[in-house]
Structure 1
């Protein structure tokens, strides 16, 4: 039973480092002063117990963090990009979504306040001040900022329903759930049409709650008859019960008692849950003309319910009032519950999905040319002006230090061959 949504998250790019020199009258030997770029902002999911559905993600599917800004002169670093925080319900699983299917589970937000970096911002590029050495007093190299992660992920919420619809088979639970939510359970005129619990998100203005259609309970359900013990486990997780009764059946009171007895015998705590009684099939004459008689019989019932509604899932009569009663009783239930304990976020470890980074230094293109893919070398090529002869010489020295030159030679590179890196290509010599 899942509520799910596919979203795209884009972390911010890192800002570029700067090639700059300090040239001032009072600082004749100021040297390189290019600042570093700021890191790109992360996209962070935050578990919030005040949210119980993923409804908002059906309207907003793209979440983009801010980019870092570029470095400046006089060793001034760029500003870090602002992190994008996205609140999700507690119990949300995060799956990598590729080719229209779940590829990998990368996180499970199971605790209020828990945070997960679902897309990490690109690191800021180093300015030329980082590349000064005893032999290179005027470095002309700087790094471009790293590219922020872009991911499509599916948020899967293991729904714990707020409201449970219970009752005998064919009482109309599935029809009522269909009428008040977007759920589409199987509906037919024979018993046990629903063979597993069906969830639906019920909306009323900006508010929403989750309702579950518990498959038909029968006498002996608490002992496992009709898989009743499995179905009753779902009732344990709900806050409010709506007991649906077919008003056209004989002995309405007896049917109510039978189900309440099963609930009580399975777990006495269930008898303490708030319960609404919904007499269904008001559209039938045998129900509408006997309303007063049914009400009188219910007055003698030592039931667990707090309110009674006569409704019709077929004509929608009374469903607005029933839905409002569900909201009110559910809100009252939440108000009585102790507020979630405020936990210092520093005490909750931040989830960081493992990033499988490529270990390749070079690759061979289909054209036969060699391409340098070492991340640091690529950032240097993107952030430096390699049209300058001295900058190219410094860049080649960095390739030696990063052992890329050796990798190129081992791959069969010869003088005069074309080497690709980023958007730039050059003839090797």
Structure 2
């Protein structure tokens, strides 16, 4: 049976490969929280925002970008720069960097989607210029480099900034083709930054990391886990569509267990199975402020789902507002368990997505969920159930689940072999970067 996209989402990828397929169902990245403002520059005397978003400009040289730099320099207390939907060459980026160096009031540096059509060999120098220009900016809150086809080789130019700017709290690196190598470089830089702060007796200000659709896989997971544990003040972590398997989910969860203020965890479209589900369930009590839990397309299976929902039924996550577990191969028994958890402890739940699991809309387990939501005044929290599969593979039941551990071991061996292969993300990024602005729109 053909299935629609897992949830409402927009394709973020001007310079990405096509959304991946699972069976006949296309899976796309979830929409990211946007920067506070992305409109075009308002040339008023008190404007603090500079934006060229969506203009489709091709700025190769300093002369090309100079008229825009003139406008930028006129903003005395610049707070935000948004450049997405244009393509900037090395010389243009270096000229822009020279101006930004002196804009010490800058809070948001939005450089998403600015290298479309550029050769992969151009990007490191351009990126280094922009990042180095911001390294000593103490007012900076957010750096957004999403939707740029970096590849692993373009991770290193970010290292100086990531290690030495201790002011920013939001890092957006979505859909960059980092791969295992690039992801490891970024995560290691974040870890070193935390260690530097610790040596000075200071605490990290990092609160949000968005690093989805980057093919991070298991190979980079231990370093990410180490980085997350070191930045214990994290509030939001989104790592969807990274090809991370159960061992990676396990180690990342353990790293995040050191983040008691975590409010958003998005692991959509990775593979948890029993091993990863067990780790998530064990860590849920560590996140009492958790508001959003997205495990859609994570292949929890009945036994994994039972562990997660069992943990929720213990009442350690009363702040949960959103639970997303679409297409996780959850059966009626497990969904009934979710209903109990909602009834007992999840009075704040206002969004629940269980579509694509093994039950019928009229089953008692679904009615139980509806009653539990209604009890808390959230009758409309349950999203569409148009892709439920009442004929799901429940008949395999416990026999299949008894083999989950063996399956996890086999999957782990397969994943290890895949991770040992040559990381081809640079080649992919090079091909993607050749896409023209016209083609990308």
User: TM-score range with shorter-chain normalisation?
Assistant: under 0.3
Give 1 or 2: higher helix fraction: 2
* TM-score normalised according to structure 2 size: 0.26
Give 1 or 2: higher strand fraction: 1
Structure scoring higher RCO (CA < 8 A, sep ≥ 6) equals 1
